[in-house]
Structure 1
Amino acid sequence: MKTAFWLYFFMFLAFFDLHAQYPILTPFALSLGAAPTFIGWMMGIYALTHLPGNLIAGQGVDRHGSKGYMIFSLLTAGIILLMQAHVTEPWQLLVLRSISGFVLAFLSPACLALLASLSRNAVQQGKLMAGHGVMHTLASVVSPAAGAFLVAQSGFTLTFQLLGWLLISTGIIAIFTIKEPARTNAGSSKAKLAPSAQVPLKIKVIPLRYYLLPLVVSCSQGILFFELPLQAGGTAGIMHTGLYFSIISLGALVTLSMLFLNKYSPYKRASFGILGIALSFFALASLDFIALPVALFVLGMSKGIVFPAMASLFIDLSGGKRLGTVFSLQSIAMSLGSFIGPIAAGALHGKHSPYFLAFFLLMLATLIMPPKKRGNLIPPALGTGAGPSKAQ
């Protein structure tokens, strides 16, 4: 578990760096003279350029392992942040954000695939995925407020420089500390098994309808990342924006700390979590008697249920094989949602509340949620020696 410890540590630093930018990017773009519609496209293009990176990452991680892609992503993203500290025009920020979206697309599939490869059974996988969520959330609790505070004290230029050097340092240290478990050749493994045991090792094709879940959830998050800084007052309300994002992360930390939730079906957890996010957006859109921090805290609690559940669900559906490709496709769905969300919010801003769109899409996802899959999380032929698990 030494590798898991270092992996969690580096993920914390990387997520801290990335989440610290959420409350300051919109005010920074406004300070450069960007209009709300342009900001929506700037946030969307970042997600769109994730797509080619996700496609490359999926096959690359399965063939070559995770470490190289993680290091490449961290170092390159840090260099881009150093360049971002000196932009003077909105189009320059758009170009750098698009490049950043591509290089950071490798990070999530690589991290998740490496974590999954460290586990031997379904329970351990669930715990490792929950740990990934805890690290992500711990970083996102303090980083938005920290990013806003740095900007308030030092300005945008120094803040982006500090964040850039943090990513570069993380990537350099990872070179010497992250070690991947030995990878086995899939074909050789099959040859050593009896013919009757080879069937469960076939790669399972996940129906595309399951990928609607990460697409819709990330679309709603893109809407929130666009609308919340403007709702808080733009550049003038940057400290409020940082605190609001930290409140969301605190809510997520509460449910991520409830490790007993991993015992429940990932299908049920995903369903209830998406419903909770949808109701939170409805409260943000129309229920003025519910305080904004309360709605955001509940939204965060629901996020803390959804993201580990989706990761476990996709491991279940894949049978534990080709996880680099599986998480890459999940990241592609999330990138599409993150592209659509802020652009749609930019088009609706000033006319209708974009929160209503998020509510509608999330409720639609709960209605068309695919039927629960029955079967093992990890096929018996992978070495667990267990019979068919009870349907959850």
Structure 2
Amino acid sequence: MKQTAAEKLPIFLIMFLISLIASIESPVFTPFASGFGATSVLIGMMLSFGSLADLVGNLLAGPLVDRFGKKLFIIFPLFVSGGLFIAHGLVSNSSELFLLHGLNEFAMAFLIPAAFTLLSGYAKNRRQQGKNMAINGILTTIASIMAPVIGGQMVVWIGYVNTYYFIGSAMLLTSIYGMTFLKERDFIVKEPRGTQVSLMKIFTSQELKLIYLIGFAVMYIHGVIAYEIPYLTVERGVSTLNTGQLFSFMGLGTFLALSLFFINRFDPFKRFMTGLAGMNASLFLLFGLSFALPVSLFFVGFFFGLVMPAIATAITESVSAKYHGRAFGVMSAVYSLGIIISSFVTGFIRDIISPYFIAFVVGMIILMFVGYSKLSMAPAIRKKTS
């Protein structure tokens, strides 16, 4: 047991550092791009292109991780990303920045499915799986709370260019740490041609399809909140400090949910259905009682923390360990798709109707569809096993 805990430490530490280092850029990129004359439209295009590159990379990552192993696709993307972050500090115009941002997102897209797949190999049962995912969630939540403050302060101390040099150097050091201490958990399975599970089969698996729909709904809601809350500074004159505090309420809710390890004993399907229902109820408060923003965001974060480990656990229970890379790759792509679509829809309809209401409708439709589909599947499963 102690040996397993010691073996898990490097992957936990690497995932924490990845989240911390990458999130340091969050308050840096937009003003840095503006300094090269990039308009808000061009910056939006940069972010959308980066999300699209991330989605494509996620889909490519899955089969490659299953075939060649997890460690390679953790270490190499870290090394490449470190070089690309350093190159950010050397750009001379917005076009170069556009290209580098897309390439960096593409490189990082391989990392998350590989890391989740490696982490899933350390669990022997559902409870351990949920606990591992929850611990990872706690660490990345802490990183996401700390990083924007660190990034903003670093710009004040050393400027934008040196901040990118620091981020890139930190990524390179993390890759060296991983190369030294990270160990491949499972055997790499190379199957004969014709026996491999295709990416499309993974994506269209009835059980996985329901899990991915929940993941899409959760990230759609998350994307709407990430888009809307910063607009309070423009529409209501709320300070950036206060909007940052609102996101902190959401982070605290997530942290609390992930800290309740006993929840991992329960069936993951019940957990993510309860979590999505809770997020929908919190959204209803968001567009119905605007004065209750801190409380509503706290509960959004709490139920978000309930859903995410449950989704990861459900995926590991729905597909053989040999194909976890494919399954987590599609999961990451679905998350990216939810963010992309929510950002696009929110920007288009926000002057006509509340984006929170549309997110509520999307969440409720998917919640009812998944619930009905699960109930419909139950008799067929009982009939097959009888």
TM-score band, normalised by shorter chain: 0.7 to 0.9
Contact 1:43 1:342 in 2 (8 A): no
> Secondary structure at 1:119's aligned position in 2?
coil
Query: What is the identity, as a one-letter code, of the residue corresponding to 2:294?
Result: P
Shift of 1:142: 1.4
Contact 2:66 2:188 in 1 (8 A): no
Contact 1:41 1:343 in 2 (8 A): no
**Map of 2:195 onto structure 1:** none
**Once structures 1 and 2 are overlaid, which stretch shifts more, 330-339 or 257-266?**
330-339
**Once structures 1 and 2 are overlaid, which stretch shifts more, 38-47 or 74-83?**
38-47
Query: What is the identity, as a one-letter code, of the residue corresponding to 1:79?
Result: G
Shift of 1:45: 1.9
Shift of 1:308: 0.3
CA distance in 2, matches of 1:89, 1:270: 44
Percent same amino acid at aligned positions?
Answer: 32
**Map of 2:344 onto structure 1:** 343
Contact 2:67 2:190 in 1 (8 A): no
Query: What is the identity, as a one-letter code, of the residue corresponding to 1:48?
Result: L
Shift of 1:330: 0.9
Contact 1:278 1:363 in 2 (8 A): yes
**Map of 2:220 onto structure 1:** 219
Shift of 1:221: 2.4
CA-to-aligned-CA distance 1:301-330 (integer Å, 9 cap, x gap): 111111101111111222544111111111
CA-to-aligned-CA distance 1:216-274 (integer Å, 9 cap, x gap): 2223323333333333459x955445444333222211110000110111111111212
Structure 2: runs of 5+ lacking an equivalent: 193-200, 379-384
> Secondary structure at 2:290's aligned position in 1?
coil
Query: What is the identity, as a one-letter code, of the residue corresponding to 1:296?
Result: L
CA-to-aligned-CA distance 1:43-68 (integer Å, 9 cap, x gap): 22222112331222111111111111
User: Counterparts of 1:119-134 in structure 2 under 5 Å?
Assistant: 119-134=123-138
Contact 1:255 1:304 in 2 (8 A): yes
Contact 1:50 1:332 in 2 (8 A): yes
CA distance in 2, matches of 1:342, 1:111: 26
**Map of 1:51 onto structure 2:** 55
User: Counterparts of 1:132-211 in structure 2 under 5 Å?
Assistant: 132-183=136-187, 185=189, 206-207=205-206, 208-211=209-212
**Map of 2:317 onto structure 1:** 316
Q: Over aligned residues, Cα RMSD in angstroms?
A: 3.0
CA-to-aligned-CA distance 1:120-171 (integer Å, 9 cap, x gap): 2232222222222122112122122222333344443333332222212111
**Map of 1:281 onto structure 2:** 283
**Matching of residue 367 in structure 1 with residue 368 in structure 2:** yes
- Aligned with 1:78 (options 73, 76, 82): 82
Q: CA 1:158–1:241 in structure 2 vs 1: closer, same or farther (change >3 Å)?
A: farther
Q: CA 1:263–1:209 in structure 2 vs 1: closer, same or farther (change >3 Å)?
A: closer
CA distance in 1, matches of 2:350, 2:31: 16
Q: CA 1:356–1:160 in structure 2 vs 1: closer, same or farther (change >3 Å)?
A: farther
Structure 1: runs of 5+ lacking an equivalent: 189-202, 375-387
CA distance in 2, matches of 1:177, 1:141: 27
CA distance in 1, matches of 2:97, 2:345: 20
Query: What is the identity, as a one-letter code, of the residue corresponding to 2:255?
Result: L
Contact 1:141 1:247 in 2 (8 A): no
**Map of 2:301 onto structure 1:** 300
Query: What is the identity, as a one-letter code, of the residue corresponding to 1:261?
Result: I
**Map of 1:334 onto structure 2:** 335
Shift of 1:111: 0.7
**Map of 2:116 onto structure 1:** 112
**Map of 1:41 onto structure 2:** 45
CA distance in 2, matches of 1:275, 1:242: 26
Contact 1:44 1:338 in 2 (8 A): no
Shift of 1:37: 4.3
CA-to-aligned-CA distance 1:306-362 (integer Å, 9 cap, x gap): 110111111122254411111111112112222222222333355544333322222
CA distance in 2, matches of 1:165, 1:27: 21
Contact 1:23 1:238 in 2 (8 A): no
Query: What is the identity, as a one-letter code, of the residue corresponding to 2:290?
Result: D
Contact 1:214 1:334 in 2 (8 A): yes
> Secondary structure at 2:277's aligned position in 1?
helix
Contact 2:121 2:186 in 1 (8 A): no
CA distance in 1, matches of 2:87, 2:231: 25
Q: CA 1:230–1:158 in structure 2 vs 1: closer, same or farther (change >3 Å)?
A: farther
Query: What is the identity, as a one-letter code, of the residue corresponding to 1:332?
Result: A
Shift of 1:91: 4.0
CA distance in 1, matches of 2:191, 2:97: 46
| Larger relative helix fraction | 2
- Count of residue correspondences: 361
CA distance in 2, matches of 1:358, 1:315: 28
Alignment TM-score, normalising by the size of structure 2:
0.83
Query: What is the identity, as a one-letter code, of the residue corresponding to 2:282?
Result: S
CA distance in 2, matches of 1:22, 1:282: 28
**Matching of residue 100 in structure 1 with residue 99 in structure 2:** no
**Map of 1:382 onto structure 2:** none
Query: What is the identity, as a one-letter code, of the residue corresponding to 1:206?
Result: S
> Secondary structure at 2:291's aligned position in 1?
coil
**Map of 1:251 onto structure 2:** 253
